[in-house]
Amino acid sequence: MELHKQQQAFFSTQKTKNLSFRRDALKRLRNAIVEQEDAIAEAIYADLKKPRYESFLGETQFVLGELNAMLKNLEFWARPERVAANLANFPSKNYVYREPYGQVLVIAPWNFPFMLAMTPIIGAIAAGNTVVIKPSELTPNTSGILGNIIEKLFDPEYIAVVQGGVEVSQQLLAQRWDYIFFTGGTQIGKIVYEAAAKYLTPVTLELGGKNPCIVDETANISLAAKRIVWGKALNLGQTCVAPDYLLVHHSIKEKLVQALKDKIIAAYGEIRSQSTDLARIVSDRHHNRLKSLLEDQRILFGGETVDRDRFIDLTLVDEPDLDSPLMQEEIFGPILPIFAYTNESDIAKIIEGYEKPLAAYVFSRRKSFQKEFITRFGFGGGAINDTVIQIADKNLPFGGVGHSGIGAYHGKVSFDLFSHKKAIVKRGSWIDPPIRYAPYTWPKRIAKWIKHLF
């Protein structure tokens, strides 16, 4: 692939290792996004009917925040980091140098089509890599504007967008990269991992899962309902960290269901299909998939579907069978199954029946229950008494565990992710203790004693 060769040649010129070169690239990117923020929101609207307000918050402003953090800290994060040195190497100083991996491939999904393509490349650029981005084919308007922005700002030998679907993605994966950053479904994540293994290429896999949300009997029901509805309605449920299903203490189930209905109506009206504050489903395939998940289910609220608009209402489903397709796959849409539990062991039985999810949430006033929830279950990250917001803080790493992903990014963690940490010992020469050298005539007790110096 010609582009791959060009980027390889460009990386070896060493230009990307220069901090002002990286800074300049990040600044130009920031200016272009600020300038085109409205046009980007329009493109995302054309693809997903995502409300402009959601696009500003969750796409462009999020990316600008990441850019600002990188620009503010670049020199600090990039400088060789002095760490303590042990006595065994005396006299010496220890450093961790951060060096770019080289050629980075970023493959992005369609649900946050701008943010999930841009955020990883900001880390990759800041760390001094070249980048190829493959945005999603399902959001052609956003992928188009993203391509235009990058094309205008950068030579392809440095940063390039390659448009296309599965085949193009596979052609790219057949190349030898120095780092692959993939966001998408777990099944495709496995394909990416396999392709990377061929060349021992390190990967970050940002995948999905079935994110539980627990509401116990001590929770503030009205606030819990408001925050759950917001987290589920965002992008019409097509958010990787949205609550997938609810586990509610049986004593408050009825009250919570009523509160959820009230909050949905208060935010999105009696007829949600007319709401401009709700996005639409990305494709006919996903629309039909979600519709079929509703078959034979007991619907407590919602349930309306509008084919020509690819609209599915915010829908509450009562106690679905755990063997039904609704509970066998990640929902990734506005359907919320609700289960009542009595004992905390009921919760564990359901959550532990699934692979570790990307996110999990608990609404409770009980500190001991919050702690039990955090320490007992494996999941990427989460929130106590809220949903989704853990991804919005650059001080927190964002990523999954097990089937929900490998690795994490955002802020400093992104910078480190795209940097190899090269350990360097700078040794003094004015003294050279003899005990490591042959001939090994030192008594055994000396070798045993040396461990105290490490």
Catalytic positions, written as ranges: 206, 240
Which class for 96: exposed (0-12), middle (13-18), buried (19 or more C-beta within 10 A)?
A: middle
H/E segment holding residue 5: helix 2-11
330 part of the interface to ligand NAD, by CB under 6 A = yes
396 part of the interface to ligand NAD, by CB under 6 A = no
Shortest distance in whole angstroms from residue 424 CB to ligand NAD: 33
Which class for 93: exposed (0-12), middle (13-18), buried (19 or more C-beta within 10 A)?
A: middle
How many residues bind ligand NAD (CB under 6 A)? The answer is 28
85 part of the interface to ligand NAD, by CB under 6 A = no
Among 65, 185, 202, 402, interactor with ligand NAD by CB under 6 A: 185
389 part of the interface to ligand NAD, by CB under 6 A = no
Whether omega before 91 lies within 30 degrees of 0, making that bond cis, reads: yes
Helix, strand, coil in percent for the chain, rounding step 5: 50, 20, 35
Q: Where does this chain touch ligand NAD (CB under 6 A) — which range of 16-24, 69-77, 201-209, 256-264?
A: 201-209
Can you list the alpha helix ranges (DSSP code H) found in 19-158? 19-35, 37-48, 52-55, 61-78, 115-126, 140-153
H/E segment holding residue 181: strand 179-183
Among 80, 165, 428, 433, interactor with ligand NAD by CB under 6 A: 165
Please give the sequence-ordered ranges of beta strands (E in DSSP) within 261-334, or none if there are none. Answer: 299-301, 305-306, 311-312, 315-318
Q: Which is nearer to ligand NAD, 69 or 219 (CB)?
A: 69
Shortest distance in whole angstroms from residue 166 CB to ligand NAD: 4
Helix 61-78 with 19-35: angle, nearest 10 deg: 170
Parallel, antiparallel, or unpaired for β 315-318 and 335-341?
A: parallel
400 part of the interface to ligand NAD, by CB under 6 A = yes
183 part of the interface to ligand NAD, by CB under 6 A = yes
Q: Which is nearer to ligand NAD, 43 or 252 (CB)?
A: 43
Q: Which is nearer to ligand NAD, 100 or 400 (CB)?
A: 400
**C-beta separation of 80 from 95 below 8 A:** yes
* φ, ψ for residue 287, nearest 5 deg: -60, -45
Shortest distance in whole angstroms from residue 358 CB to ligand NAD: 5
Q: Which is nearer to ligand NAD, 80 or 165 (CB)?
A: 165
184 part of the interface to ligand NAD, by CB under 6 A = yes
Q: In the numeric block, which tokens belong to residue 128?
A: 């001094």
Neighbours of 117 (CB within 10 A): 28
**C-beta separation of 334 from 237 below 8 A:** yes
Give the per-residue contact string, 209-248, with ligand NAD (x = CB under 6 A; - = no): -------------------------------x--------
Q: Which is nearer to ligand NAD, 18 or 328 (CB)?
A: 328
303 part of the interface to ligand NAD, by CB under 6 A = no
Strand partners of residue 439? none
Q: Where does this chain touch ligand NAD (CB under 6 A) — which range of 182-190, 288-296, 311-319, 341-349?
A: 182-190
134 part of the interface to ligand NAD, by CB under 6 A = yes
Give the per-residue contact string, 96-125, with ligand NAD (x = CB under 6 A; - = no): -----------xxxxx----x---------
Give the per-residue contact string, 17-56, with ligand NAD (x = CB under 6 A; - = no): ----------------------------------------
- Calpha distance 357→212 (Å, rounded): 8
Mapping DSSP onto H, E and C, the string for 317-333 reads: EECCCCCCHHHHCCCCC
166 part of the interface to ligand NAD, by CB under 6 A = yes
Q: In the numeric block, which tokens belong to residue 373?
A: 């929830």
* φ, ψ for residue 313, nearest 5 deg: -70, 155
Residues contributing to the site for ligand NAD (CB under 6 A): 107-111, 116, 134, 136-137, 165-166, 169-170, 173, 183-185, 188, 191, 206-208, 240, 330, 332, 358, 400, 405
